[in-house]
A = this chain, B = another copy of it.
Amino acid sequence: MAVSVSNRKKVAELAGVSEATVSRVLNGIGPMKETTRQRVLAAAKQLNYELNAIASSFARGRSGNLGVVLPHVPKVHLFSTYYFSEILSGIGEEVRSKGYGLLLLFRDPNEVFDYASLFRTQRIDACIVLGASAIASEREGIARMAGQRLPFCVMDQRFDGLDVSAVATDHEQGSYEAVKHLIAQGCRRIGFLNGAPHYSNSVDRMSGYLRALREAGIEVDESIIYRGNYSRKSGTQAAEAVHADLGKLDALFVANDRMAIGLMQGLRELGLSFPEHLPIVGYDDSDVASMTEPPLTTVKVPFYEMGRLAAERLLDRLSDPDNESFAFNEILQTELIVRKSCGTHRSGESR
């Protein structure tokens, strides 16, 4: 059996013997314990098999990895946000059950990311884009990948005008139901702390909020619509403005739980109690939502299932490469979870 120098080293490592021993066994030189000989031959056989497996995977152009490309946000511990951690848990479970690896890569959202090269260099077989927004550089990177008909999908973000597979949740309906619940409790002057508008799911939340008000014949008051960026800190920063507006607020709808929790902490420091002074509804049903005092009324988003489903659809496509019409657009539904933070509004109550 012919082995190269570098392979000889690998066989030696695998068999737990010296390279010289490998040479002697493979060349049949000198005396050798039979157990050692067998170990070296088994290692050489296994290694040869695996080298063939690499070569064949190289020829087939398969890496065995599903790529997940995340935005790099300085100072943010991305995996520690409920949004990303749950989606990744769902992706991870599906990838594991199918014997794939999950290759995480980071992109600078302000640069056009070269997704296609990840496919050409055979680092990934399919790709999920997480946390994308509508800014031009992000859109351009995704448009280029779409132009090459590569197997990928985006998560929870619409790209109008691009033919892109996606898994998303109906945040318009989720927001509509949250605000409708507050209206049903007798609230009319309902404020809204939203996230940044370059995420389509912020835009959708706004649409749902406006639909619920419109349907109830409530005029929109722009002065009680606030802007955060989905971080807890941005919630805390909104506390002062919300506090100044208390006289014109029956309740507040907040676009995610992290901002709701930050806001409540900020308002608590200004002397407020919940839900007595201000009924609040959050969004996500993150794990902290049930741990706060009072527990948060919130909109449950099936993040885990979104991740699992996206991975499933892409890996199914890989096992059926002739299927050209694999484009998908899955929209999952939310569920309103009523806990104590939204209280039960009593109209005319003094604050």
Contacts and interface: CB of A to CB of B under 8 A. Distances in A.
A138 B54 CA distance: 26
Contact count band on A: 35 or more
Contacts of A10: 120
A101 B104 contact: yes
A131 interface: no
A80 B93 CA distance: 13
Given A13-B149, A292-B292, A79 B92 contact: yes
A302 to B, nearest CB: 12
B102 A104 contact: yes
Interface stretch (A34-42, A57-65, A173-181, A201-209): A57-65
A65 B104 CA distance: 9
B105 A101 contact: yes
A33 interface: no
Interface of A: prevailing SS: helix
Nearest to A60: B6
Contacts of A103: 65, 101-104
Given A102-B103, A116-B14, A89 B96 contact: no
A72 interface: yes
A50 B292 CA distance: 52
Nearest to A58: B58
A20 interface: no
Interface string A45-69: 0010011011001100101110000
Interface string A136-175: 0000000000011100000000000000000000000000
A232 to B, nearest CB: 8
Contact of A79 (B6, B86, B149): B86
Nearest to A293: B293
Interface of A: 6, 10, 13-14, 16, 47, 50-51, 53-54, 57-58, 61, 63-65, 70, 72, 77-80, 82, 84-86, 88-89, 92, 96, 101-106, 116-117, 120-123, 147-149, 261, 265, 287-288, 291-293, 304
5 shortest A-B CB distances, which residue pairs? A293-B293, A77-B89, A79-B85, A96-B106, A102-B104
